[in-house]
Copies of this chain bind each other. A is one copy, B any other.
Amino acid sequence: MTIKDIARLCGVSVSTVSRVLNDRPDVSEENRRRVLEVIESSNYIPNNTARDLVKTKSDAIGLVVRGVSNPFYTDIIRAVEDSITAEGFTMVMQQIGTCDDEIKRGAMMEREKRLRGIVFLGGRSDYTPEELTVLNVPFVCCSYANQYGTLPEGSYASVSIADEEEAYRAVTELYRCGHRRIAALVARTDDRAISQLRYQGYLRALADCGLPTEEELVIRAGSFDIGDAYRATAEKLRQEADFTAVFSIADNMALGAMRALREAGRRVPEDCSVIAIDGLTMSEYFHPMLTTLCQPMEEMGRRSVEILMDMIHGRGRPRCETVRTVLRRGASVRRIN
């Protein structure tokens, strides 16, 4: 069933049918009604492929997700998908490994799929202007930004929290509660992305509080995976590392750490406090409830798509939005002063 068949069935030309299909005004009411009727009764659905071809563009937005093991992305993916669909576009999602280059993969998808835009979830924060030249459609970085300042103002879009500052805030919160031996649970300290940024916030907070930086206090999990965090924390505890609080760069990792603490006989928060950043729903159900800086995930997904749409429709330059976290006080942090 093609547009031709509909045209024949209605006794009109294909252009008339096409006009009805695209809600053009220049069709007589009578013809419009007839065409609509036939379309309805024949169950006709236009071939998007043909439409895309002639318009030399599709209705697809690519979502490139880097690092699959973080449940933090789940809610964002949902919000992104919802928004994209609500805007009349289609989401094509592709996951890539932590070692893959999201820009290259995005560029591939862009051309193969004739994408109209791309949302990157969880990428590096230090793109160079040169490597971005392969991208010819608007894109927006969701949940991370160019926080190393390697890109000129206005040349890219992002929606994220201020990772370094929020980490700083979390750590000083522990300091205010009297903690002086504060450990950091990180994925890596050199990923040029979220983990490194939050680690830097941790370091700055320690410095500002007049606390020394010690390798003993850094728990390196290697990834954002809950199991890795659990094992790394367990190992650190086995070495009898001395700390009264843990700042985890992610909720997910904090939950792994809490199990390790528990199994090592250290109660949270009596023997060790835990604070994290992310605000997973799940964290509210743990015992003790995790104290965490909540990212507005639904909003972040939504805003990302809004910015992308503005760019696609030529409304304004790319812009970077920084959203604030909200401290959700659970019961995993104890005052000790």
Task: State the A residues within 8 Å of B (CB).
Answer: 45-50, 52-53, 58, 68, 71, 74, 78, 81-82, 85, 90-95, 108, 111-114, 226-227, 230, 255-256, 258-259, 262, 281-282, 284-287
Contacts and interface: CB of A to CB of B under 8 A. Distances in A.
Contact of A256 (B46, B68, B255, B285): B285
A111 B284 CA distance: 42
Contacts of A282: 71, 226, 255, 282
Contact of A48 (B50, B114, B255, B284): B114
A259 B230 contact: no
B58 A68 contact: no
B78 A95 contact: yes
Contact of A93 (B81, B112, B227, B285): B81
Nearest to A258: B285
A61 to B, nearest CB: 11
Contacts of A114: 47-49
Given A81-B94, A91-B92, A259-B287, A49 B47 contact: no
15 contacts: A46-B112, A48-B112, A48-B114, A49-B53, A49-B114, A50-B53, A53-B53, A82-B95, A91-B93, A92-B92, A226-B281, A227-B281, A230-B285, A259-B287, A286-B287
A42 to B, nearest CB: 12
A91 to B, nearest CB: 6
**Most-contacted residue by chain B among A46, A47, A258, A262 (CB, 10 A):** A47
Nearest to A110: B45
B53 A255 contact: no
A81 B95 contact: yes
Contact of A49 (B58, B68, B74, B92): B58
A119 to B, nearest CB: 13
A252 to B, nearest CB: 9
Contacts of A95: 78, 81-82, 85
Contacts of A46: 112
Contacts of A91: 92-94
A261 to B, nearest CB: 10
Contact of A113 (B68, B82, B90, B255): B90
A111 B285 contact: no
Contacts of A49: 49, 52-53, 58, 114
Contacts of A262: 287
Nearest to A114: B49
Contacts of A47: 53, 111, 114
Contact of A45 (B50, B112, B227): B112
**Most-contacted residue by chain B among A49, A82, A94, A108 (CB, 10 A):** A49
A204 B73 CA distance: 39
A256 B111 CA distance: 45
